Amino acid sequence: MGTLYLDRRGASLRLDGRRLVIEETDARPRGVPLALLERVVLQGQVRFDSSVLAALAEQGAAVVCLSARHSRRTALLVGTGHGDARRRLGQYRLALDAGARLMLARRLIAAKLRAQIRLLDAASVRRPDARKPLHDALDTLRRLAHAAGAAQSRDVLLGVEGAAAAAHYRGLAALFPPALKFGGRTRRPPRDPVNAGLSLGYTLLHFEAVRASHGAGLDPLLGFYHEPAHGRESLACDLIEPLRPRLDGWVLALFRDRHLRAEDFVTDKGACLLAKGGRQTFYAGYERWVAPARRYLRRECYRLANGLLEGAPDWAEEDDNGG
Name the CATH superfamily for 85-310: CRISPR-associated endonuclease Cas1, C-terminal domain (1.20.120.920)
Which pLDDT score, from 0 to 100, does residue 323 have? 42
What are the sequence ranges of the domains in the chain?
A: 2-77, 85-310
Going residue by residue through the chain, which has 323 residues, state the pLDDT in tens, using 9 for 90 and above: 588 888 877 788 888 888 889 888 778 888 889 888 888 888 878 888 888 888 888 888 888 888 876 677 777 888 777 778 889 999 999 999 999 999 999 999 999 999 999 999 999 999 999 999 999 999 999 999 999 989 999 999 999 999 999 999 999 999 999 999 999 898 888 999 999 999 999 999 999 999 999 999 999 999 999 988 888 999 999 999 999 999 999 999 999 999 999 999 999 888 898 988 899 999 999 999 999 999 999 999 999 998 888 776 666 655 544 44
Under 8 Å between Cβ of 265 and 274: yes
Residue in 315, 317, 308 with CA at minimum distance from that of residue 94: 308
Q: Which amino acid is at 10?
A: G
Tell me the pairing of strands 265-268 and 271-274.
antiparallel
Which pLDDT score, from 0 to 100, does residue 318 have? 53
238: three-class secondary structure by DSSP: helix
Phi-psi region of 311 (alpha: psi -120 to 50; beta: other; left: phi over 0): left
Q: pTM, whole model, 2 decimals? A: 0.89
205: three-class secondary structure by DSSP: helix
Which pLDDT score, from 0 to 100, does residue 315 have? 67
**Dist CA 38 CA 32 (whole Å):** 12
**For the CA atoms of 278, 63, 115, 248, what is the dihedral angle to 10 degrees?**
10
**Dist CA 319 CA 152 (whole Å):** 25
Domain formed by 2-77, architecture? Ribosomal Protein L15; Chain: K; domain 2 (3.100)
Which pLDDT score, from 0 to 100, does residue 78 have? 82
Sign of CA dihedral 177, 174, 283, 322: positive
Which pLDDT score, from 0 to 100, does residue 141 have? 97
Which pLDDT score, from 0 to 100, does residue 269 have? 83
Which pLDDT score, from 0 to 100, does residue 19 have? 86
- Residues across the chain: 323
Under 8 Å between Cβ of 129 and 259: no
48: three-class secondary structure by DSSP: coil
Which pLDDT score, from 0 to 100, does residue 1 have? 57
Which pLDDT score, from 0 to 100, does residue 58 have? 85
